Amino acid sequence: MIRLLFYVVLVSALAFGFAWLADRPGDLSIVWQDRQIEMSLMTAVTMVVSLVAAIMITWWLIRTILYSPRTVARYFRASKRDRGYQALSTGLLAAGAGDAAMARKMNKRTKGLLNADQEPLIHLLDVQAALIEGHHDEARKLFEAMAEDPETKLLGLRGLYLEAQRQGADEAAQHYAETAAEQAPHLPWAGAAALSYRTREGKWDEALQLLERQRQAGTIEAKAADRTKAVLLTARARDHVDSDPSSARDDALNALKLAPAFPPAAVIATKALLRQDNLRKAARILETAWKASPHPEIAEAYVRARVGDTSADRLKRAERLEKLKPLNPQSFDVVARAALEARRFDLAREKAEASARLQPCEGIYLLLADIEEAETGDQGRVRHWLSQAVRAPRDPAWTADGYVSETWEPVSPVSGKLDAFEWKVPVEQLAGPSLDNQPPAQAFDRAMASLPPIRETAAPETSTPIADPLVEAVAPAENAGEAPRPGGASKPAAVIDAEVVSGSAPVVAKANGSGAASKDSPAVVKQGELDAAEEKTALEAAADDADDGIEKKSQEEPAKPDPEAEARAKEESFLTHRPDDPGIDVNAEPEKPGRFRLF
């Protein structure tokens, strides 16, 4: 842009100069070697300018010719470098996409076009290709070589740290992380890893020094740094509260300045102050912390701060906390527990029920059960409150990574994370197992069990005629071939057994010595003695019995003609008599049981 502006200014100056000379004409006379040359001033200036331009162009041509070999070499070198960087870029993209073959191919091409000693990204591409192919030993050797080069040392340390973590070598991973943190405190991963390892081992002093270096390097925000420092100071104070109460008091108070609503710091500061018999300051610290964040541990430390107090004195201190934080479920809970100890059952029940209305939980209902048992001993009421406790939400607790602790801990025992414990309701199962997850067999059994019972009709085991009330109503008692019935009665010997052959359960239908089936199922008719009128009447009775299953027509009275029944009987007549069949031979011998025929 500046060069273009320079050319514009130069051309403008030349144009302005020629215009100025054109407005002021004149003659120029030159005498050289007894020769006089006369010309106009405009012509002389034009010749001078042209001469200068010719000299410059000539010098440019000569310079171009002289430097052409170097220019050509530089051009080809730049072209080769561009192709090398293009291959390197393609290889890195392929490595990021997980294409090991393309990454190896581009890495080989890059090494042929670029110098590996001058371009560290070639080593990075080589390492990425080895990791994608699963060659971790080769990748580790490459990372070690990169860690020896000052330019790629941090990259090599991070790679070695990740490989050590993958293999479970915590000591090696800690060494690489601390080395990187010492040389480059601004690296977030190195600082966080080194801080985690130091806090796991309880090295609070070294952790505080590392945190201060990270704060100065600007890798951690001020708010997060203050919170972390408060946790580290509280942890150090907890370890020294018995051996060195003065230093523990100072650390806890400094932690409270950084995080005023941090209950563990207030409790530890109180313990240190009480060991120095400074009850007044300890009470003031607990009251301030209670206003900021009501916590059961703060209330417990405040109520039982002075040894030797009576239950009435503890109740007064609990009521003091309620005044500091009125209409708070935790305040009501503290007063209720103190009142129970003081045998003030009415006050205890009142405060406990108020806390249950504001924040129902398991502990408050258990407290109500204790109050009921201590005052009245009514087991029914006690069981009522216990049942409420079973269904109520759980009490808050110190929880980290699914682990519940009775006391606060600075580091999670599961993941080793600093400041992982939170005062909250532990995670629990929200619902029972779903029926959709049951095996197919169990789901089928449950579905079949939910169906209504099915009325079954047992099939006869043998071909022996079975007594049927319909037979007595249809066939006269004096018919030939009667067989004895159970109980001394008799029935016609010629009984028609119809078996459904469509795949369903066997069905037996007997009427007037002739077998009849439902109109949808073909039947095999056993030959008996019957006439056409009796066969028609029996078929109508069997069809009606199959339709409703409840009422049966009595054949003692003459049946009235029913046009619909006659039409239905004609449609079903193909079961016993086909149009081209002369009919049933009544004199034919009965067929052997167990044989099935359609006609």
Total tally of structural domains belonging to the chain: 2
DSSP H or E segment with residue 490: strand 490-492
At what angle are helices 296-303 and 279-292 packed, to 10 degrees?
150
pLDDT, tens digit (0-9, with 9 covering 90-100), for 227-268: 999 999 999 999 999 899 999 999 999 999 999 889 999 999
Q: Of the candidates 29, 49, 66, which is a domain's last residue? A: 66
Is residue 213 one of the residues assigned to a domain?
A: no
Is residue 23 one of the residues assigned to a domain?
A: yes
Distance CA 559, CA 566 (A): 12
pLDDT at 493 over 80: no
pLDDT interval class at 521 (50, 70, 90):
very low
Q: Are 334 and 364 in contact (CB under 8 A)?
A: no
Among residues of the chain, what percentage have pLDDT more than 70?
71
Q: Are 21 and 41 in contact (CB under 8 A)?
A: yes
pLDDT at 156 over 50: yes
pLDDT recorded at residue 554 = 43
Q: How remote is the C-alpha of 526 from its chain's centroid?
A: 70
Among the ranges given (132-136, 155-159, 407-411, 571-575), the one the predictor scored with the smallest mean pLDDT: 571-575
Q: Of the candidates 44, 66, 88, which is a domain's last residue? A: 66
pLDDT, tens digit (0-9, with 9 covering 90-100), for 290-335: 999 899 999 999 999 888 889 999 999 999 999 999 999 999 999 9
pLDDT at 450 over 80: no
Containing domain of residue 42, as a range? 8-66
Helices (H), 168-244: 170-183, 188-200, 204-217, 222-240
Is residue 536 one of the residues assigned to a domain?
A: yes
Among the ranges given (66-80, 204-218, 540-554), the one the predictor scored with the smallest mean pLDDT: 540-554
For residue 517, give Cα distances in angstroms to 514, 544, 593. Answer: 10, 11, 17
Distance CA 40, CA 220 (A): 79
Q: Which residue has the tokens 């960087």?
A: 85
Distance CA 217, CA 163 (A): 27
pLDDT interval class at 587 (50, 70, 90):
low
Q: What average pLDDT score do residues 553-563 get?
A: 48
Is residue 486 one of the residues assigned to a domain?
A: yes
pTM value is 0.59
- The β-bridge relationship of strands 403-405 and 490-492 is unpaired
pLDDT interval class at 568 (50, 70, 90):
low
Is residue 258 one of the residues assigned to a domain?
A: no
Query: Phi and psi dihedrals of 411, rounded to 5?
Result: -125, 140
Query: Could you tell me which residue, 575 or 109, shows the higher pLDDT?
Result: 109
pLDDT at 438 over 70: no
Distance CA 184, CA 582 (A): 112
pLDDT at 3 over 60: yes
pLDDT at 98 over 80: yes
pLDDT, tens digit (0-9, with 9 covering 90-100), for 349-369: 999 999 999 999 999 999 999
pLDDT recorded at residue 309 = 87
Is residue 45 one of the residues assigned to a domain?
A: yes
Among the ranges given (226-230, 262-266, 385-389, 515-519), the one the predictor scored with the smallest mean pLDDT: 515-519
For residue 478, give Cα distances in angstroms to 61, 481, 483. Answer: 145, 9, 11
pLDDT, tens digit (0-9, with 9 covering 90-100), for 105-154: 998 888 888 887 778 888 888 898 899 888 899 999 999 999 988 888 99
Is residue 30 one of the residues assigned to a domain?
A: yes
Structure-block tokens of residue 357? 């209305």
pLDDT at 514 over 50: no
Average pLDDT taken over every residue of the chain: 76
Give the torsion sign (CA, 401, 403, 406, 409): negative
Is residue 184 one of the residues assigned to a domain?
A: no
pLDDT recorded at residue 492 = 38
Helices (H), 244-343: 245-258, 263-275, 279-292, 296-303, 311-324, 329-341
